[in-house]
A and B are shown apart, each in its own frame.
Chain A
Amino acid sequence: MGLTNQSCGRALISQKFNISFNKEDFIIALAGNPNVGKSTVFNGLTGLNQHTGNWPGKTVATARGSYTHKDKKFILVDLPGTYSLFANSAEEQIARDFICFGNPDATIIVADATCLERNLNLALQVMELTDKVILCLNLMDEADKKGISIDIKQLEKELGIPVIPTAARKKLGLRALMDATYDVASKIKKPTPRKISYGNAIESEIQKIIPYLEKKLNNKLDPRWVALRLLEGDTTLLDSINAFLYENNSPLAYKEVAYAHEC
């Protein structure tokens, strides 16, 4: 059977992530480090239209909410706050799996303007996974108080994605964020995220694996990104790939994977 539309993308969102939606609704993921005001942004966008639940099979709580902008309904999924997508913890794995396999129409990364550098680490990692990214530069008011100013235009150019300054606690910039999300989700604007170059040694290894992965992944995942994770020795990703993309295919494979992990 291989990869079909049924086994990944939007069908997965309802099956695997317990999110119900209409076909024409946009699914938006909200990612970010802890303590950057992600929940405030979430609340500011969705108001009272939200509910919380658990990720299936995990005890990590999640909030979902919705808002309507320009006659489109947006389903907002609040991912757990993480510093990276390296899958060191259940939270990181969930955030990665959702962006990776849930195939949201856009991903908003909420970043703390008072410590941009640290927040960019996560942003760069998300940008490797998907092109449809918006950076919400939150806590601009606090940055201002601390005398930190950020060249938004320059940052947009460097990252290749829309950057929206906000102060969610004061409800500033949220409308611009909705506009930008609308543009990206409805493909009016196509971000071209900057890709990191990892140096010759790693790049040549990537090139060796990519042809194989291209065949395997059948355009469902970015082969370069998967290659990088394999080079890192990240085995949780293979679990997730098998679980999300091949699940109905062959139960034997699942056993093999489990066996391989015991070794």
Chain B
Amino acid sequence: MNVNPVLNPSQPMTESEIKIGYDYPEHLKDEIVSAIYQEAQGIAQKVVSINKKKAKDWDAILDGILTSRITGYPIMFLLLGAVFWITISGANVPSSLLAAFFFKIEDYLTYLFTSLSAPEWLHGILVLGVYRTLAWVVSVMLPPMAIFFPCFTLLEDFGYLPRVAFNLDRLFKKAGAHGKQSLTMSMGFGCNAAGVIACRIIESPRERLIAMLTNSFVPCNGRFPTLLLIASIFMGGAVASQYRTLTASFVVSSLVLVGILITLIVSWGLSKTLLKGIPSSFTLELPPYRKPQIGKIIYRSIIDRTIFVLGRAVVIAAPAGLIIWLMANIHIGSQSLLAHGATLLQPLGHLIGLDGYILMAFILGLPANEIVLPILMMSYMAEGAMLELDSLQEIANLFIANGWTGLTALNVMLFSLLHFPCGTTLWTLRKESGSFRWAVFGALMPTCIAILVCFLTTQIYRLFI
């Protein structure tokens, strides 16, 4: 290693100078780092003394249980299940009260429109289209969110979420992805678009892309109501009444696990093919457990999350309701536009255990996953008898009348879990990855997986029954 002595010291450091750094082998850096660490260790040993008796370290005891290799995962699953159980059992009654309330108002609105002798199409668009979709979105979504978010925020505030990341870190490393990905996933529980933005905390571009592309495998709160509702109707409905809520929570928790499993598989696949590389290391600080601040939790979960998400859903549901109503009521030939679309999609739908209307609903729900179920109910009802859906049982009847079985319910949940993310998330994906192609990939890849998984469950189911 020679340093050129003729370099003018008043000149900026240049290429040749940078070479000084480049020529040295990697192990020098390691030696420098470890010298610093040893020094720190030596000093700390000299000056720190620990009184074992006094040290009843609750954090360490809790960490020992919550992040243990044996108990860590079961506790995660149980906590998740408990949150769902509270949500499902708490949301039923307010949901039906809200629905009853909104449909009473609908009656008044209809009365108002007829008494003003407004044209039938206007009543159709505004009341049966826009208003009814809004009413469903609010009554289906508001109660579960108002219960789920505070529970989730409670765990977050207590300091449990970083422990989840710690537990999952090993798995992500094995999948060739970054341990911080689990943190971005827990953001995804709130909103996938927020989850994609949260991927900024991952330094390596390769691992960040993996995390961004797989974020939508975590069900966001736009999809939770869908999952919870279907699980309560079909999975809960299949067992004795006292076990219903329990079964439904178990099913939804298992779905979350399926989502995590698919995330790991896809991350592994991506890191072996399109996004090759080795996982980089990182420091994950486990903050101390804190007594949750109830006031803050309620504010954050109700104002920041519930109202925000609901507001977004309402804004999208209104025009969507209008479009759906138009599609269901504009006829070409003998069929409505909606029916044409559904007929077109029917073969694919049947192949993967769904039907054309369900696929239509998912496609039309691209702007926001929240409105998939309302769209679906609307399209079923536009074709058949008019119902007032003010209880779970009536929603169940509507679905069963349209040929739903346990398999359909399962596949709708799986499809909802795995299909393309909502428009906002895709837009965010485009912005964050800086490439339109990754956004397209981010839509196609999950959809293919959703179709594949539903196809498999259907074929296996049909083999046995």
Contact = CB atoms under 8 A, between A and B. Distances in A.
13 contacts: A35-B287, A116-B44, A117-B44, A120-B43, A125-B36, A150-B48, A202-B32, A202-B35, A209-B3, A216-B13, A230-B21, A242-B13, A250-B11
A149 B51 contact: yes
A61 interface: no
Contacts of A198: 31-32, 35
B41 interface: yes
A35 B47 CA distance: 22
A253 interface: yes
A89 B40 CA distance: 22
Contacts of A254: 12
B119 interface: no
Interface string A70-114: 000000000000010010110000000000000000000000000
Contacts of A205: 1, 24, 28
Contacts of B9: 2, 215-216, 218
Contacts of A211: 3
B203 A199 contact: no
Given A148-B55, A149-B51, A212-B3, A257 B15 contact: yes
Given A117-B43, A250-B12, 5 more contacts: A151-B48, A151-B49, A202-B28, A232-B28, A259-B15
Interface stretch (A16-24, A38-46, A152-160, A174-182): A152-160
A124 interface: yes
A147 B12 CA distance: 53
Interface of A: 1-3, 34-35, 83, 86, 88-89, 116-118, 120-121, 123-125, 142, 146-152, 154-155, 158-159, 194, 196-199, 201-202, 205, 208-209, 211-212, 215-216, 218, 228-235, 238, 241-242, 246, 249-250, 253-254, 256-257, 259-261
B14 A154 contact: no
Interface in B9-34: 9-15, 17-18, 20-22, 24, 26, 28-29, 31-33
B37 interface: yes
B285 A242 contact: no
A209 B13 contact: no
A2 B8 CA distance: 10
A66 B51 CA distance: 39
Given A88-B203, A124-B40, A209-B3, A257 B48 contact: no
B14 A253 contact: yes
A24 to B, nearest CB: 31
B50 interface: yes
Interface in B30-69: 31-33, 35-37, 39-41, 43-44, 46-55, 57
Interface of B: 1, 3, 5, 7, 9-15, 17-18, 20-22, 24, 26, 28-29, 31-33, 35-37, 39-41, 43-44, 46-55, 57, 203, 283, 285, 287-288
A216 B17 CA distance: 11
Given A231-B28, A260-B14, A196 B285 contact: no
A213 B51 CA distance: 48
A202 B27 CA distance: 11
Contacts of B11: 249-250, 253
A124 B39 CA distance: 8
Contacts of A149: 48-51
A2 B3 contact: no
B58 to A, nearest CB: 10
Nearest to B285: A35
Q: What are the 8 tightest A-B residue pairs by CB atom distance, in nearest-first order?
A: A147-B54, A253-B12, A147-B55, A117-B44, A147-B51, A120-B40, A215-B9, A2-B10
Given A196-B36, A233-B29, A257 B18 contact: yes
A215 to B, nearest CB: 4
Given A154-B47, A208-B1, A238 B13 contact: yes
A247 B45 CA distance: 45
B50 to A, nearest CB: 5
Given A116-B44, A196-B36, A202 B13 contact: no
A201 B31 CA distance: 10
Contact of B35 (A196, A212, A235): A196
A158 B13 contact: no
Given A232-B21, A238-B13, A159 B52 contact: no
B47 A158 contact: yes
Contacts of A35: 285, 287
B43 A159 contact: yes
Contacts of A215: 9
A254 B13 CA distance: 9
B3 A124 contact: no
A230 B20 contact: yes
B32 A232 contact: yes
